Amino acid sequence: EIVMTQSPATLSVSPGERATLSCRASQSVSSNLAWYQQKPGQAPRLLIYGASTRATGIPARFSGSGSGTEFTLTISSLQSEDFAVYYCQQYNNWLHTFGQGTKLEIK
């Protein structure tokens, strides 16, 4: 099983600033990585797939990078609606796994 480790567990950032979230895989997942945003009481929302491709309707302030075992989600200028929990997920093999999540909170 590929273990996905996200860091930090909690990130405090002020609105308008940049946020950088990390996700590490225990072995290479190539570019088969997705990022999701989840707000309280809601289903996860796909932000990024293929490590760097924005999903339909996702604002350009969200960007993903990385390949292999190291991945980053960057939110360039935080808006109030961006404060949420973010998950990465690998789908490189049939056994898909999620990271434990990073909570992005207002500083």
Partner 1 sequence: QVQLQESGPGLVKPSQTLSLTCTVSGGSISSGDYYWSWIRQPPGKGLEWIGYIYYSGSTYYNPSLKSRVTISVDTSKNQFSLKLSSVTAADTAVYYCARESDYWGQGTLVTVSS
Binding site for partner 1 (CB under 8 A): 1, 34, 36, 38, 42-46, 49, 55-56, 87, 89, 91, 94-101
Pairing of strands 85-90, 33-38: antiparallel
Chain CA centroid to CA 52, Å? 10
- d(C-alpha 16, C-alpha 79), whole Å: 6
Nearest Cα residue to 17 out of 83, 75, 90 = 75
